[in-house]
Structures are given as C-alpha cells and as structure tokens.
Amino acid sequence: MTGKVLAIAVNTFKEAVRNRILYVLLFFAILILLGAWVASSLAIFGQEKIIRDLGVATINIISVLIAVFVGVGLVYNDLDKKTIYTIVSKPISRWHFLVGKFLGLLLTIFVNILFMTFFFLLVLYFRDFTKDSVLEKLAVEGISGAGLMFYYIKSAVLATGQALLTVGSLGFYETATTQGIMVSSFLTMLEMTIITAFAVLFSSFSSPTLSAFLTVIVFLIGRANEDLYFFANMLVHRAGGVENLAGGQFLTYWFSLAACHVAPNLEFFNQREVIAALGKPEIGFYPIFYGLAYAASVLAIATVVFNRRNFK
C-alpha cells in the first residue's frame, strides 16, 4: 500500500517540477529576496528587520502561490485528461491516489521552501547579518562555496529534523536571526500542509480556477481568523448582546463566526512573532499537531467526495 502511494507521490513530484509556473514563482522569489538586500542597504536604520521581514514574507507568499497554482491543476489534469482511468483501475483505492497526489505536491513545496530558505540565508550571510562564530571559524579555515552550501543544507535538514522531534528549541545556530528563519520556514511548511490539503480537496471536485479561488479564500480567512473572531465579538459587544444585533449585523456576526470556526487558524503558524522574538525561538507541540490533524481531516473529506464521484 505504502509503495503504491509513494509511486504516485514521486510521479506527482516529477510532474510538478515540470510546471513552468513553479519556475516563474521561484524567479520572483529570488528577485524579491535580492530586492530585500537592496532595500535594506538603502535604509538608515532597522536594516536587518527590513531584510528579515521581506524575506520571510516572500517565502510564505510564494509557497502559498505554489500550493495554489501548481496544486489545483494536479488532480484536475488527471481527471480532465482521463489519466486517472488507468490509475484507479489498478489494485489501489481512490484515497491512495489522493494521498499520493497530496504527498507529491507537499514534497514539491517543501523542496521549494528549503531552496528559498537556503537562498535567503545566503543573502543574509553575504549581507553580514548571520556571520556567527561557527561560520567565521569556517571562513577563517578557508571555506569554499561548496562547503558553505553543504553547511547550510546540513543545517536546514538538521533543524527540520529537530523541529519535527519537537525539541522546542533549535539551538543549532549561533545567531537568533538564523534560528528564527529556520523556525519560520518550518512553520510555513506546516501551514502549507493545510493549504495543500485544501488545494487537493477543491481540485477533486471543481475546476482549477474555482479551486484556486477557494484555496486563496481559505488562506485569507485562515490568516484573518483571529481578527474575524475579534470582529464578531466586537459587533456583539457594541450592540450589547446577540439578541440586539440588526438583520445585516446578525448575518455578518454568524458569517464571521462560522468562517473562523470552519477555516483553519493559520495564526498558529504566524512567523512574525517568531522572528520578532530574538531570543531562542520555540516551536511548541500544538502547531505541529494542529497542522497535521487539520490536513488529515481535510484529506478525509476529500476522500469522501472523491469516492462518490463518477469520472467523466
């Protein structure tokens, strides 16, 4: 069973990395990260904050765009071109196909997040913001370009592994900035797990355009989740109770409340606070549990929908 899901996942990864949109998005990511360098150079103060915030936001937004624009087409293409006929007629269940697609897309996004993070760390390094004692030591010993690349790849893998084990603190890096960026990228991966699950859910029953639209809506509501909750409560507070809400306000109240309860709370993966806390950034157990459980629930719904449909 695992082998069949993995075969679909690997094939999905092969398919996704052939998508030109992916490279256009990565090109923009590199452009913005380099732009962040220039912008921070022009600032009189807060240079490190500018480059850090821009970089983290870029990695996050580009990841969402990859999930949306690459993700929504993957399931739909197999349905539209009827490739799915020869796949689900093999001894696999339909959920194997969906989970395989999900994992393949997730792998694509994770690889891209790692690539962007690596590039961003390089920008920071050359901008002199992360030259910690370890790197300086390596530099003194005459580190080569390949050696530096190896150092960062090893660091990224180790940091991700450590975070997965919920050690709470990465503690690998000497500087808070590097730690913060690694943690922030890990949180972005968790956030993308949920967004990818939604992209797969929507594309299992609707067109790519509608799927992309719905996935973006979920992302926006998810990001504004706590604000929506605050807004709903503020309406009640001002009116002096739910019973005093006028017709339109009453609908707005229930819509806001329903939206923030149904949509995921992506504030759990908010990187701003992590970056701002220049101490030792920590990842609690809850965001990991929340991300995985939420994505699993969305995939379960996608499976129910997918199991019932006729393939045209």
Nearer to another protein among residue 19 and residue 47 (C-beta): 19
Which residues here bind another protein, judged by CB under 8 A?
3-4, 7-8, 11, 14-15, 18, 81-93, 308-312
Q: Using CA atoms, how far apart are residues 291 and 190, in angstroms rounded to an integer?
A: 6
Least separation in angstroms between residue 100's CB and another protein is 10
Instruction: Return d(Cα 75, Cα 208) in angstroms, integer.
Output: 9
Decide whether 108 or 162 has the Cβ nearer to another protein. Answer: 108
Q: How far is the C-alpha of 92 from the C-alpha of 306, rounded, in Å? A: 14
Closest CB 73 distance from another protein, rounded Å: 14
Smallest gap from residue 296 Cβ to another protein (A): 22
Query: DSSP H helical segments within 142-281, as ranges?
Result: 145-164, 176-203, 208-223, 225-239, 247-262, 271-276
Cα angle 283-287-291, degrees, rounded to a multiple of 5:
135
Smallest distance, another protein to C-beta of residue 115, A:
21
Residue closer to another protein by CB (options 18, 45) is 18
Dist. CA 215–CA 263, nearest whole Å: 11
Question: For another protein, which is the closer residue by CB, 262 or 308?
Answer: 308
CA distance 8 to 104: 7
Q: What is the smallest separation between the CB atom of 103 and another protein, expressed in angstroms?
A: 14
> DSSP class of residue 281?
-
Decide whether 244 or 307 has the Cβ nearer to another protein.
Answer: 307
